[in-house]
């Protein structure tokens, strides 16, 4: 077995001992490690079959003593899965099939030659890159929160402790007073990574000072923003970092019970957290008298049932209580009156995952990176129309352009960058003209979006901004809990207007009405969901107003995404007669002979848009 079981109750001295044993193993020159990514993305593309085959081949060749295969959490480069890293050379192999495994074993492990055809090919230079730290996607990141990604088996407490896990908790429980812990958090200036950016140290201080003998710590893992998967990856890849953060928070405020509220859409994350909880209890880093300190704290995992609004803290707490997850007015804030009416600290996964390191290295260390008001690093889930899709962690203060073009590798094909959407349904789109904005809570708001939880979806010129605004409102409309009228009714009216515009029935005055509604909803909605629901519309109107006007006045969709505004006709002057549209048409509505422009039979056409995507010359209107 790979995993070294820890069945004794740990004391502080054991932590350092395990760390030494872990490093002796990882740095053993006679031993190779193969880290196979086992995140949700790689599982879906077949990493388990690759790993099984790898173990089989290694066993067949009698290499078991010299090669250890470790299934890690999400490596971050999700678009290239299944993938693995051969350590200590740190060679990165990608897009693997079980058939490729023989080559890796035979060529690399036995003969020591790198298998070039399985390496990452830089889309810009078209050259193969063997070593992970030379791949731009990885080399420009600063993995603090994700420091263990791709290095540890998330189902092994030994690995987590081996890389310094629970040392922050040991310091807090054995050397520090709650006041000192809170002070360290305030020095670190870490702000809530769920999106709103409230200083975590202050939140802890309120809860610490709140009166009550029963208090709670809640981890918000209800990652609901579409296009966000940072929290999932952290829970899947390094669950002990989150548990350690919760133990520390509990000590700071004096809580004895904690909950992790996780979406039921993340079965693998739930599974790994359950394993981590069991191991942590057995080893005495959770439960009674943690690390022999006399401090008791236990955690329960609670699965959500599919409601976006439950990411809002008061709704989330209501959901843990077993009710309809509807927000309530604040104040009182949860730090004073939270779960079951008791003082409760509720923090996001990413925030908690940083706490252990802050306690080991000190708040000043954490605050040494970043901008004036935003410290440390931020994890983004980069996706959409960008070459390198995956998890990206950068220091605060990094320009957005660097994330998309240097780390993300730019836009695939010959398409152009149009906008990047930050903050999901509460955020907004940032256009090319504002790409030099740096990652900072306040600066991003000035540019028309919000930091949000970290979803960053890149869009090329084929994305219609009117349609995107409509998409987000449809989302909000469906997820609005219905408790307050501005959100329930106001967003419905906005959606109706946008649907009308997309259908080619927009009128003069619609945009002004949208803006008026936006201000009204923001001013009067009960919770964060409603108050921010108009952000996508507002930012789209600010940066892409001419596109809205084209829909209304010229009845045209410049991005060619709104079927009602398209003619489904091939322009014979632009058609280069390649026949690609014919191949993708599902209903054979396109006729084409060699050396003649294609013709679409509009009676047969079902307006599926496949030909628009396939045409390399933009010849279909």
Partner 1 sequence: MTCECENSVEVTPEQWSTVDAIIAEHRETPGSLITVLRKCQDVVGWFPENLIDHIAAGMNIPLSEVFGVVSFYSLFSLKPKGRHTIKVCTGTACYVKGVREVMGRISAKYGMEEGQTCEDRRFDLQGVRCLGACGLAPVMVVDKDVHGDVSADSVLEILDAYK
Query: Taking a C-beta distance cutoff of 8 angstroms, is the pair 529, 312 a contact?
Result: yes
**Strand ranges inside 571-621, DSSP E:** 590-591, 599-600
Other C-beta atoms closer than 10 Å to the C-beta of 587 total: 11
- Closer by beta carbon to partner 1, 4 or else 499: 499
Which residue has tokens 């010849």?
Answer: 619
Nearer to partner 1, 88 or 341 (CB): 341
- Which residue, 81 or 370, is less far from partner 1 as judged by CB? 81
Cβ-based nearer residue to partner 1, 81 or 164: 81
Beta strand spans in 373-473 (E): 377-384, 390-395, 417-422, 428-431, 455-460
* Nearer of residues 33 and 470 to partner 1, judged by Cβ: 470
Taking the least distance from each CB to partner 1, the nearer of 465 and 517 is: 465
Minimum separation from the CB atom of position 420 to partner 1 (A): 11
Minimum CB separation from partner 1 for residue 81, in Å? 7
Q: Confirm if 375 and 418 have CB atoms less than 8 A apart.
A: no
Instruction: Provide the binding-site residues for partner 1, judged by CB under 8 A.
Output: 40-41, 43-45, 78-79, 81, 223-229, 232, 264-266, 302-308, 319-325, 340, 381, 383-385, 389-390, 421, 424, 455, 457, 459, 463, 471-472, 475, 481, 584, 586, 606, 608-610, 613
Q: Are 6 and 283 in contact (CB under 8 A)?
A: yes
Helices 178-188 & 349-361 angle (0-180, nearest 10): 110
- What gap in Å lies between CA 211 and CA 221, rounded to an integer? 27
CA distances for 132 relative to 75, 98, 139, 572, angstroms:
11, 21, 8, 47
Residue 492: CB minimum distance to partner 1, A = 18
Nearer to partner 1, 229 or 548 (CB): 229
Nearer to partner 1, 199 or 410 (CB): 410
Beta-carbon contacts of 563 under 8 Å, excluding residues fewer than 6 positions away, are 607, 609
Distance, CA of 408 to CA of 260 (rounded, Å) = 31
What minimum distance in Å lies between the beta carbon of 110 and partner 1?
Answer: 32
Whether 528 contacts 315, CB under 8 Å: no
Minimum CB distance to partner 1, residue 353 (Å): 16
Sequence-distant contacts of 328-332: CB under 8 A, at least 24 apart: 328/526, 329/526
Distance CA 192, CA 350 (A): 8
Q: Answer for the pair 220, 346: CB distance below 8 angstroms, yes or no.
A: yes
> Shortest gap between Cβ of 358 and partner 1 (angstroms)?
26
Closest distance of CB 69 from partner 1, Å? 22
CB of 91 to partner 1, least distance (A): 21
Cβ atoms < 10 Å from Cβ of 322: 7
Minimum gap (Å) between residue 332 Cβ and partner 1: 20
Phi and psi at residue 395, in whole multiples of 5°?
Answer: -70, 145
Tokens describing residue 490: 């106001």
Nearer residue to partner 1 within complex by CB, 194 or 227: 227
CA distances from 592 to 218, 333, 570, 618, 621 (A): 62, 66, 11, 17, 17
Give CA separation, 449 vs 15, 41, 93, 212, in Å: 43, 27, 36, 39
Rg, the chain, Cα only: 26
* Closer by beta carbon to partner 1, 162 or else 343: 343
Q: How far is the CB of 460 from partner 1 (least distance, A)?
A: 8
Which lies closer to partner 1 via its Cβ, residue 63 or residue 584?
584
Taking the complex as a whole, the smallest distance from the CB of residue 229 to partner 1 amounts, in Å, to 4
Q: Which secondary-structure segment (H or E) carries 260?
A: strand 257-262
Q: How far is the CB of 474 from partner 1 (least distance, A)?
A: 9
CB of residue 321 to partner 1, shortest distance in Å? 5
Q: Least CB distance from residue 42 to partner 1, whole Å? A: 9
Instruction: Give 48-117 as a DSSP string.
Output: HHHHHHHHHHHHHTT-TTTEEEEEES--S-GGG-S-EEEETTTEEE-S--GGGHHHIIIIIIII----GG
Residue closer to partner 1, measured from CB, 353 or 389: 389
Q: What is the DSSP string of 129-196?
A: E-BGGGSHHHHT---STTTTTTTS-TT-HHHHHHTTTTHHHHHHHHH--HHHHHHHHHHHT-B-TTTT
Pick 100 or 231: Cβ nearer partner 1: 231
């Amino acid at each position: 077995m790979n995993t070294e079981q820890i069945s004794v109750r740990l004391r502080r001295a054991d932590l350092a001992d395990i760390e030494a044993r872990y490093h002796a193993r990882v740095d053993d020159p006679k031993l190779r490690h193969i880290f196979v990514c086992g995140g949700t993305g790689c599982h879906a593309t077949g990493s388990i079959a690759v790993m099984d085959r790898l173990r089989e081949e290694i066993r067949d060749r009698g290499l078991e003593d010299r090669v250890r295969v470790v299934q890690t959490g999400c490596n971050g480069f999700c678009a290239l899965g299944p993938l693995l890293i051969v350590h200590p050379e740190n060679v990165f192999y990608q897009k693997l099939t079980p058939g490729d495994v023989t080559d890796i074993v035979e060529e690399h492990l036995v003969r020591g030659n790198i298998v070039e055809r399985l390496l990452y090919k830089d889309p810009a230079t078209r050259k193969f890159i063997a070593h992970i730290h030379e791949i731009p996607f990885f080399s420009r990141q600063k993995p603090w929160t994700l420091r263990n990604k791709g290095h540890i088996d998330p189902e092994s407490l030994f690995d987590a402790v081996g890389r310094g896990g629970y040392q922050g908790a040991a310091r807090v429980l054995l050397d520090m007073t709650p006041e000192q812990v809170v002070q360290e958090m305030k020095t670190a200036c870490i702000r809530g990574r769920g999106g709103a950016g409230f200083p975590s140290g202050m939140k802890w201080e309120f809860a610490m000072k709140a009166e009550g003998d029963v208090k709670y710590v809640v981890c918000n893992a209800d990652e609901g923003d579409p296009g966000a998967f940072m929290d999932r990856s952290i829970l899947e890849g390094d669950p002990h970092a989150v548990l350690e953060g919760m133990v520390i928070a509990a000590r700071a405020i004096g809580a004895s019970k904690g909950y992790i509220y996780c979406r039921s859409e993340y079965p693998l994350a739930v599974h790994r957290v359950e394993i981590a909880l069991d191991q942590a209890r057995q080893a005495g880093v959770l439960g009674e008298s943690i690390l022999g300190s006399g401090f008791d704290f236990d955690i329960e995992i609670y699965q959500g049932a599919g409601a976006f609004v439950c990411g809002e803290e008061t709704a989330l707490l209501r959901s843990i209580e077993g009710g309809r997850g509807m927000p309530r007015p604040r104040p009182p804030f949860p730090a004073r009156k939270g779960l079951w009416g008791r003082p409760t600290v509720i923090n996001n996964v990413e925030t908690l995952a940083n706490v252990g390191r802050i306690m080991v290295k000190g708040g000043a260390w954490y605050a040494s990176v970043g901008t004036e008001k935003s410290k440390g690093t931020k994890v983004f889930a980069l996706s959409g129309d960008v070459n390198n899709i995956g998890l990206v962690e950068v220091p605060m203060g990094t320009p957005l352009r660097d994330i998309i073009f240097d780390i993300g590798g730019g836009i695939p094909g010959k398409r152009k960058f149009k906008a990047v959407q930050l903050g999901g349904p509460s955020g907004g789109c940032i256009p090319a003209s504002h790409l030099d904005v740096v990652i900072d809570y306040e600066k991003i708001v000035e540019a028309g979006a919000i930091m949000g939880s970290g979803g960053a979806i890149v869009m090329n010129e084929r994305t219609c901004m009117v349609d995107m605004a409509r998409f987000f409102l449809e989302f909000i409309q469906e997820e609005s809990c219905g408790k307050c009228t501005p959100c329930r009714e106001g967003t419905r009216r906005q959606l109706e207007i946008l649907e009308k515009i997309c259908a080619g029935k927009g009128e003069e005055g619609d945009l002004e009405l949208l803006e008026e509604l936006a201000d009204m909803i923001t001013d009067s909605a009960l919770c964060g969901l409603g108050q921010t629901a108009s952000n996508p519309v507002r930012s789209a109107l600010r940066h892409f107003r001419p596109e809205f006007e084209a829909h209304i006045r010229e009845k045209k969709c410049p991005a060619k995404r709104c079927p009602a505004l398209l003619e489904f006709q091939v322009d014979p002057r632009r058609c280069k007669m390649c026949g690609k549209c014919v191949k993708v048409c599902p209903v054979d509505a396109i006729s084409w002979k060699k050396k003649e422009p294609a013709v679409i039979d509009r009676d047969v056409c079902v307006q599926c848009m496949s030909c628009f995507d396939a045409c390399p010359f933009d010849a279909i209107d």
